[in-house]
C-alpha cells in the first residue's frame, strides 16, 4: 500500500480549488498603505481572484487532494 501524499501546507493556505476545478486565491495589496489607494481599487481587491489556466496545473501538483 502506498503512503498518502503530503499536501504543501503553504499552498493550501493560499489557494482553494472550486467544484469546477478552478483555483481561487486572495488578492494582494490590501494589508497596509491603504490611504493612497482608491475605494474602487480596494473594493475590487476584496474579491477572490481566479488563477490563470497556465498556472492551475502547477498549483494542483502542490495540492494532491485539493
The domain spanning residue 12 has which CATH number? 4.10.410.60
> Can you spell out the DSSP letters for the chain?
-PPPPPP-HHHHHHEEE-TTS-EEEE-SS-SS--TTS-HHHHHHHHSEEE--HHHHHHHHHH-TT-
**The pLDDT of residue 22:** 96
C-alpha cell at position 20:
469546477
Residue 44 domain-assigned (yes or no) = yes
pTM: 0.85
**How far does CA 6 lie from the centroid of its chain?**
18
Q: What is the domain range of residue 59?
A: 7-25+39-66
Is residue 18 in a domain?
A: yes
Q: What is the pLDDT along the chain (66 residues), one digit of tens a residue?
A: 999 999 999 999 999 999 999 999 999 999 999 999 999 999 999 999 999 999 999 999 999 998
Domain count, the chain: 1
65 lies in a domain? yes
Amino acid at each position: 500500500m502506498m503512503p498518502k501524499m503530503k499536501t504543501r501546507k503553504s499552498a493550501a493556505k493560499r489557494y482553494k480549488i472550486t467544484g469546477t476545478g478552478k483555483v481561487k486565491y486572495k488578492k494582494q495589496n490590501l494589508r497596509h498603505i491603504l490611504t493612497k489607494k482608491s475605494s474602487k481599487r480596494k473594493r475590487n481587491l476584496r474579491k477572490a481572484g481566479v488563477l490563470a489556466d497556465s498556472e492551475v496545473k502547477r498549483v494542483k501538483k502542490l495540492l494532491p487532494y485539493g
